[in-house]
């Protein structure tokens, strides 16, 4: 049986690959975009901005009016800031949290009554490896993803009686538009910024890791399997072996040791155990 799926952020990356594959599999797919983009065959585009509550309401209302239900919500859309805690512009911090966390919360709240009314559903929240460990010079991206983690754990227990499942996906580095999008929201390296040199060094490593990441088609295939699963897991970590190892090491090692390892990877000088 085909499912009615609402997925956010289908203009590029994970969202685009996933929406296209879900449509090929015969599902009824509604994908949200903030602005016009190339159409995806079999995907119905909806205009929605996660920072605009009314646009969220309109998008959900349109799906319900046409289909009568929403079986799966994939909270995929988000944004990336980059820079030190001290010098990242406050407006970028607010935009990061409004887009990657609050927008997801507001959309979920609009969809939940629909799922309860139809006897259940599935909510898939796209987090990140950065939601399991704080990433230097991506502090507010990590903060937003940490918030997604806590929100998802609490939500899962609350909606269990209504047959609504909550799944979290933690991708590692994939070859998407992340680097380019982050470049639009970087802390300005102006004047006597004490972090400028280290920030540029670490950013080059971050972007190299992303450029060498996996094909987003891998995540899309996994997402389709999760949607069609009768008993999905609470969490799926989809990443390279070394990133999966990092998740395990964070749980096993003393905090100082793990911070030294992670800091060293990002070329942070003066990192101590």
Helix axis angle, 255-265 to 241-252, nearest 10° = 150
Is the separation of the CB atoms in 126 and 195 below 8 Å?
no
Question: What's the rounded Cα separation, in Å, for the pair 33 and 48?
Answer: 6
Specify the residue for token string 């909606």: 159
Helix axis angle, 103-117 to 139-159, nearest 10° = 20
Q: Residue 272: its pLDDT value, please?
A: 54
H/E segment holding residue 97: helix 90-97
Classified by CATH at the fold level, domain 4-241 comes out as: Rossmann fold (3.40.50)
Specify the residue for token string 């996660």: 50
Q: Which two tokens stand for residue 188?
A: 């300005």
Question: What's the rounded Cα separation, in Å, for the pair 145 and 126?
Answer: 9
If we measure between CA atoms, which residue out of 26, 20, 55, 24 comes closest to residue 39?
Answer: 20
Catalytic residue annotation: 11, 127, 141, 145
Enumerate residue ranges in the chain where pLDDT < 70.
Answer: 177, 179, 190-191, 270-273
Q: Which two tokens stand for residue 262?
A: 């992670």
Q: Which two tokens stand for residue 186?
A: 């970087």
User: Per 3-state DSSP, what percentage of the chain is helix, strand, and coil (rounded to 5)?
Assistant: 50, 15, 35
Is the separation of the CB atoms in 168 and 127 below 8 Å?
yes
């Amino acid at each position: 049986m085909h499912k009615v799926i609402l997925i956010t952020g289908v203009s590029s990356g994970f969202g685009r690959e996933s929406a296209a594959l879900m449509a090929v599999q015969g599902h009824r797919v509604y994908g949200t975009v903030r602005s016009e983009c190339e159409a995806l065959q079999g995907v119905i585009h909806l205009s929605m901005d996660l920072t605009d509550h009314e646009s969220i309401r309109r998008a959900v209302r349109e799906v319900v009016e046409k289909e009568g239900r929403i079986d799966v919500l994939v909270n995929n859309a988000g944004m990336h800031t980059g820079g030190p805690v001290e010098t990242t512009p406050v407006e970028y911090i607010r935009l990061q949290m409004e887009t990657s966390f609050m927008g997801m919360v507001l959309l979920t709240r609009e969809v939940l009554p629909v799922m309860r009314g139809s006897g259940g559903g599935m909510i898939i929240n796209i987090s990140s490896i950065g939601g399991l460990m704080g990433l230097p010079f991506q502090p507010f991206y990590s903060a937003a993803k940490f918030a997604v983690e806590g929100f998802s754990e609490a939500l899962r227990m609350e909606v269990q009686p209504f047959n609504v499942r909550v799944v979290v996906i933690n991708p590692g580095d994939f070859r998407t538009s992340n680097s380019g999008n982050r470049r639009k929201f970087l802390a300005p390296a102006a004047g006597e910024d004490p972090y400028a040199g280290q920030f540029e060094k670490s950013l080059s490593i971050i972007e190299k890791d992303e450029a060498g990441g996996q094909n987003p088609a891998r995540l899309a295939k996994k997402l389709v399997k999760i949607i069609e699963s009768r008993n999905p897991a609470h969490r799926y970590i989809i990443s390279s072996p070394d990133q999966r190892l990092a998740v395990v090491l964070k749980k096993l090692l003393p905090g100082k040791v793990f911070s030294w390892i992670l800091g060293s990877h990002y070329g942070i000088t003066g990192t101590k155990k």
